[in-house]
Amino acid sequence: MNQQDNNNHLEATQINAKCPFIITIMHKLVPFSMIWVSLVLIYGVVCMYTNAVGQDEFYRFIFFLRSPFIVGLNCIALFISVFHTIVWFNLLPKTISSSMFNKQSNTLLVIVGLWAVTLAVSSFLFLFVLK
């Protein structure tokens, strides 16, 4: 890899220092949002496991999710997750060192393809859960 390819790779993976303050904050909040979602899911699984004994735990989990504060935290976590997905989908063509992605149309095609796969898998899981 020559020096220019190396500089392009570093430039594509580094966060621009001139980002607005809110974008910088959102980059810093991504790990906390993922930890929050993981803890909520773990709590839900534990409540479902103990639901075989009695239904109190399951209802406790449902009431926990209905709290306005928890709904707000979940909305913030969802917003940050979508932001994180957008950032990574836009960075992927830049980080792959290939002459195929040098054209703007190929880069756009890769990003649209990633979104199509994401929407297809999400739709399948949504329909699977509704059954």
Percent of the chain whose pLDDT exceeds 90: 25
Q: Which domain holds residue 7?
A: 3-97
Residue 51 banded pLDDT, cuts 50, 70, 90: low
Task: Give yes or no: residues 36 and 51 share one domain.
Answer: yes
Q: Does one domain contain both 34 and 58?
A: yes
Is-contact 43 36, C-beta < 8 A? no
Q: What is the mean pLDDT of residues 104-127?
A: 87
If asked whether residues 122 and 61 sit together in one domain, one would say no
* Residues 83 and 101: beta-carbon distance below 8 Å: no
Residue 68: the pLDDT is 94
One domain for residues 36 and 90: yes
- What is the pTM (predicted TM-score) of this model? 0.68
Q: Which residues, at least 6 apart from 29, have a Cβ–Cβ distance to it below 8 Å?
A: 80
Assess whether 42 and 78 both reside in one domain. Answer: yes
Q: What is the pLDDT of residue 53?
A: 63
Same domain for 81 and 119, yes or no, is no
Question: Total structural domains in the chain?
Answer: 2
Task: Judge whether 84 and 30 are in contact, CB under 8 Å.
Answer: yes
Do 51 and 24 reside in the same domain of the chain? Answer: yes
Checking if the pLDDT of 15 tops 90, the result is no
Contact 36, 73 (CB under 8 A): yes
Confidence check: pLDDT of 113 > 80: yes
- Please indicate, yes or no, whether residues 23 and 58 belong to a single structural domain of this protein: yes
Average pLDDT over residues 101-126: 84
pLDDT of residue 3: 53
Mapping DSSP to helix (H, G, I), strand (E, B) and coil, where does residue 40 land?
helix
CB distance 34 to 27 below 8 Å: no
Tokens 């534990």 -> residue: 46
111 and 92 in a common domain: no
2-14 residues labelled b (16+ CB within 10 A) or e (exposed): eeeeeeeeeeeee
